[in-house]
Chain A
Amino acid sequence: MSDATTTPKSFQEIILRLQTYWAAQGCAVLQPYDMEVGAGTFHPATTLRSLGTKPWAAAYVQPSRRPTDGRYGENPNRLQHYYQYQVIIKPSPPNLQDLYLGSLAAIGIDLGLHDIRFVEDDWESPTLGAWGLGWEVWCDGMEVSQFTYFQQVGGHDCKPVSGELTYGLERLAMYVMGIDHVMEMPFNDPDSPIPLKYGDIFRQTEEEYSRHNFDGASTGMLLQHFKDAEAECERLLAFEPEDPKSGKRIIMAHPAYDQTIKASHLFNLLDARGVISVTERQAYIGRVRALAKKCADAFRLTEAGADL
């Protein structure tokens, strides 16, 4: 492990330091969810696991997709595919702010040299039926994280409350390393035999996906898939809990939630394709929210989501 007080040399070193740090704080270091999501919050390790009374502590990197943010790899700060680092701890520990500040120190931010501020920012996800209170964290005027105490998810009160930290990894890493354009950021150690920059890995995909998101994706197919995901989600939740084959009580909350995630991403793509009008927008968001709520209802009936 690198000395925490030195400046990291690469994007991946920042990720590795965060992983090590949060592992040391007792978090289960999970892997990204294997589906397209708009933010780390969508990972069932956050949405579903923030429900019920079972204690929970997890940290993970989540690749996130925001189709409308595609800029063909040209914008120094904006990407349609980027990484979030997500920490979720239930119940929120009393020293969560200190733990968070420790993580900044771990990636080389000298707290005696920088101006760290917790600035009011209430978080709300209309598609997940979720909201919480907290801050955006500023480092020298730059927003580097979201810090949220979940109050409600999927329409359910969070009892106990989970503390959620979300780091925008590219932005944070660029700031720590003093990089001006994301594509210029070293991804691995610049002294490696084969040094790779962020752009070596993602410039081409940013171009391809920007074209795909804005012009390529078939809107007819997306509309149909949205309907399919919606129907499948409801169908899976309509099963009787008793599974005749295994003889167990099995509620398919996670598979149904996968369909919610799908619907949400399909909506984002349709939005990027510009085929959703202002009035329809609200209706689509409402449809995804309805699915998220049903999944949350179902998860609350399972062992992992129950009140003990």
Chain B
Amino acid sequence: MPDLLIELFSEEIPARMQGKAREDLRKLVTDGLVEAGLTYASAGAFSTPRRLVLSVEGLTAESRPVREERKGPSVSAPAQAIEGFLRSTGLTLDQLERRADRKGETFYAVVERPGRAASEIVAEVLETTIRTFPWPKSMRWGSGSLRWVRPLQSILCILSDEGGAHVVPLSVDGIEAGNTTEGHRFMGIGRFTVTGFDDYVVKLKRAKVVLDSAEREAAIWQGAQNLAFAAGMEVVPDPGLLTEVAGLVEWPVPLMGRISDDFLGLPPEVLQTSMKEHQKFFSVKNPRTGRIEGFVTVANIEAADGGEVILKGNQKVLAARLSDAKFFWENDLRVAKAGMGEWAEGLKAVTFHAKLGSQAERVERIATLAREIAPLVGADADDAERAARLAKLDLRSAMVGEFPELQGVMGRYYALEALQANPAPDLIRGLGEASGGPGSSPGRVSAIADAARDHWRPKGESDAVPTEPVSVAVALADKIDTLTGFWAIDEKPTGSKDPFALRRAALGVIRLVLGNGVRMHLVPVASDQMDLAIFDAIQGKFAVGEQRDALKRARMALAHAHSTTNLNRNAIATLQAEIKKLEDAAAKAELEREVATRFGHRDDQTSDLLSFFHDRLKVYLRDQGIRHDIIDACLAMPGNDDLTLLVKRAEALAAVMKTEDGANLIQGYKRAANILAQAEAKDGVEYSFGADPKFAETDEERALFAALDRAEAEIAPAMQAEDFPRAMAAMATLRAPIDAFFTAVQVNSDNEIIRRNRLNLLHRIRKVCSGVADLSRIEG
């Protein structure tokens, strides 16, 4: 059983692509080998910045012989048909077999394919793999037409067994496979011959290359920690950076340096981000001060001077980078202390979306909504509005311009500075003196500042949901405004296309609502918010003249209404009143038309958005183990735009469906509903009231009346109190009496009065149950 070793040696492969490339190489080659009839014991793939390597052990020396048989035309078939068969098989007439069957004689083509040598198969599979390799981005070089991630320089491909190693004959665009490779670019020992995987690994190490990226990662982490510990410090773990750095070096040499005192006043996130993004440094923390005070860089060479020059150079680059960061930080602090007015002004010049106006307009919308949501999540409305107005300002800061990933983090720092320097409420336009500033209360200040950081969250599925009320209010307002805005201009996700990450925004709303138990009806909130977005969209379209002025006046009236009451519900009326005042008849008609079309679709879009939320919720709940039909049974109930209520109901229903009574109740319920539906269809009437126990003939019938009375008495108050488990349990008690009823009683009695009474009784079952959930949607 030979072993196979492949090395594709190239110029530097981007670190971020190496992990997937390893996997692709392993899969493409081993799949190809297996498909061609070989088997193998094990396969492992490796990568360094300059090589992709695959080692396959225990490969069969040749593929199994294959016998293929094809039935052809009858011996008596026309000559043309026989010729066609010969062409398609590549055989001559005398090579065909004749076999007798019931209908006479038929030609058969029997092709025996002998087993093929592994080396022949490997050569084919590897060439195909190289030519079709799925690099995220590939290139040509020189005069060739081959594509690889960077120029491919050599191919090592050998099969080795007890008898020794031999090169698999293979040539791809002039690159001949061989049995040699080279080591480290600067510390290597020239080209050397390799006889097998073990020999390869040993010789590479001698040539200063650690083949296995996991081994390099371990060496980097160990080395970095040792350096830090020796100085009484600790390395800040960063698994992503570790993987990346391991993909940048063949021979890792960690070196530790100190950050100059000049920069220790920068926020730790800034130090960490700058060092990581620009220079791939690990941050080193001083546990005594809690500050980031050092760094570890990983060189790719054992320098003659022990790395002194390298460290000095890196330190110099770091100083230049951190000087920039310090410059940004100090400038930003100046703007923040002055109340961030410069940035608020700047947001007016930043387009959020061509059809939805500027970031400043968006901030206005979010502030309005945050104010409305605040009481629902236990936040102070003024604080929520103020937080919303501050939350996006860091987008204009120099630091976030340089490091977009610090948005929010910087927002919190700057908001704190602004609030501490400006405790008076003049930071918020539209708020009266009476509302009072939060400056006197450090708790409120920090809650507002935290919202600048946390309103972006949850950023992904694994990100935690904010719980601080002000943060929750702004986070919800931010995401709902995004959704209503894009629904207002009809830019919804389609298929796999979701350029504005609206699915993530909806899931964010769902997690914020459920995680905090927020009771909120989405429809009125979304509908009002969509009004604002439509308003801004129309405003963007009429940017000049009389129409613009009318729109401006209407918007101001709206803003005023928002700041004094809760959400305005008369956006259109306000606007129409303004339009009426227009003098130019054509302008008036044009604007009226625009308003009518845009607002005319608002209710459709709102209910469409609600369905979008429901779809996302189904996916979310399915992941939590709640069946889709149970969710459907609850979605059919009124109040389904209150997601917390909806989920409480679904959870209770899911729980009761797991009990024996609950599961079997569905059968009885469906039987009752079917009989009832058939009778109603046949008789053309609805059996909806008047079931009377006095017409009951059997004990079972009377028992069911009693059970329904009891259940009804229990369910009504339970539903009132939103105590779904109690209501569901009461509903489940109906199972036994319903089953007993159907066993003992024939609904379709000859006595028409008794029959009608029984149908009306069945109606009571349907009615009692459907007050809890729409059981007809439950499967089973």
Contact = CB atoms under 8 A, between A and B. Distances in A.
B15 interface: yes
Interface in B109-160: 137, 139-143, 149-151, 153
A113 B16 contact: no
B309 interface: yes
A145 to B, nearest CB: 13
Contacts of A97: 11
Contacts of A140: 309-310, 312-314, 317
Contacts, number: 96
A193 interface: no
A141 B137 contact: no
In this complex, the interface size class of chain B, counting residues with CB under 8 Å from chain A, is 35 or more
A78 to B, nearest CB: 10
A147 to B, nearest CB: 9
A133 B14 CA distance: 10
A115 B303 contact: yes
Contacts of A116: 186
Given A140-B310, A141-B313, A151 B303 contact: no
Contacts of A186: none
Nearest to A143: B317
A277 B299 CA distance: 43
Contacts of B299: 115
Contact of A120 (B16, B279, B316, B317): B16
Contacts of B16: 120
Interface in A117-143: 117-120, 122, 132-135, 139-142
Contacts of B316: 142, 175
A216 interface: no
B186 A111 contact: yes
B309 A113 contact: yes
A105 to B, nearest CB: 11
Contacts of B301: 112, 114-115
A134 B11 CA distance: 9
Interface residues of A, number: 37
A134 B13 CA distance: 10
Contacts of A163: 141
Contacts of B310: 113-115, 140
- Greatest chain A CB density within 10 A among B142, B149, B314 is at B142
A92 B142 contact: yes
Nearest to A175: B313
Interface in B278-336: 279, 297, 299-301, 303-305, 309-310, 312-314, 316-318, 320
A308 interface: no
B12 interface: yes
Contacts of A114: 301, 303, 309-310, 313
A93 B142 contact: yes
B317 A112 contact: no
A158 B313 CA distance: 37
A299 interface: no
A135 B12 contact: yes
Contacts of A135: 12
B141 A161 contact: yes
B143 A160 contact: yes
A122 B137 contact: yes
Contacts of A133: 137, 139, 149-150
17 contacts: A76-B320, A92-B141, A94-B153, A114-B303, A115-B299, A117-B248, A119-B248, A120-B14, A120-B15, A133-B139, A135-B12, A139-B313, A149-B141, A151-B139, A277-B349, A278-B350, A278-B351
Given A94-B142, A116-B186, 20 more contacts: A77-B320, A92-B142, A92-B151, A93-B142, A113-B304, A113-B305, A115-B300, A115-B313, A117-B248, A118-B49, A120-B12, A140-B313, A141-B279, A151-B139, A159-B140, A160-B143, A161-B139, A161-B142, A175-B316, A278-B350
**Closest 5 A/B residue pairs (Cβ):** A140-B313, A120-B14, A118-B12, A141-B314, A160-B143
Interface of B: 11-12, 14-16, 49, 137, 139-143, 149-151, 153, 186, 248, 279, 297, 299-301, 303-305, 309-310, 312-314, 316-318, 320, 349-351, 354
Interface of A: 76-77, 91-94, 97, 111-120, 122, 132-135, 139-142, 149, 151, 158-161, 163, 175, 277-279
